[in-house]
């Protein structure tokens, strides 16, 4: 997803660097892990439609396909959700969890179904 600090100009550069690393190597000799960005109301440059990052079916599928293209490979060994879609508190310097701050989020079922979809398609081997 990003070099730090994350911004639109550097988004995807890590995948491109890893793709260069993979050149000349046997793909089966490399364990390749990447991630889907978690929910953020600050990050609107990851998705083609300019929507804010969240962990839903559409964005999981787009993220995997975009990473595969940048990486120049046909599968990812381990796909992870970078941080939760749901409110947890204590994330990135936020105060601890408070029920008063709960808001709608994408269901675990939707997220797991989409993750299962990319595994069943052969694009991802394992999720975490």
Give the CA-trace dihedral at 48, 37, 13, 65, to 10 degrees.
-60
DSSP the chain: --SSSP-TTTTTHHHHHHHHHHTTS-GGG---EEEE---BSS--SSSTT-PPB--SHHHHHHHHHHHHHHHT-S-EEEEEESS-SS--SSGGGPPSP-GGG------HHHHHHHHHHHHHTTSEEEE-
Catalytic residue among 2, 75, 87, 126: 2
Tell me, yes or no, if 2 is annotated catalytic.
yes
Give me the active site residues, please: 2
């Amino acid at each position: 997803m990003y070099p730090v600090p994350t911004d639109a100009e550097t988004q995807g550069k890590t995948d491109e660097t890893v793709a260069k690393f993979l050149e000349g190597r046997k793909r089966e000799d490399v364990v390749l892990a990447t991630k889907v960005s978690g929910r953020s109301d600050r990050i609107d440059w990851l998705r083609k439609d300019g929507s804010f990052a969240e962990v839903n079916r559409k964005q999981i599928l787009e993220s995997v396909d975009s990473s595969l293209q940048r990486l120049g490979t046909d599968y990812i060994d381990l796909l992870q959700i970078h941080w939760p879609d749901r409110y947890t508190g204590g994330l990135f310097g936020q105060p601890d969890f408070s029920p008063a701050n709960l808001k709608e989020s994408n269901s675990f079922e939707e997220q797991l179904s989409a993750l299962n979809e990319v595994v069943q398609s052969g694009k991802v081997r394992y999720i975490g």
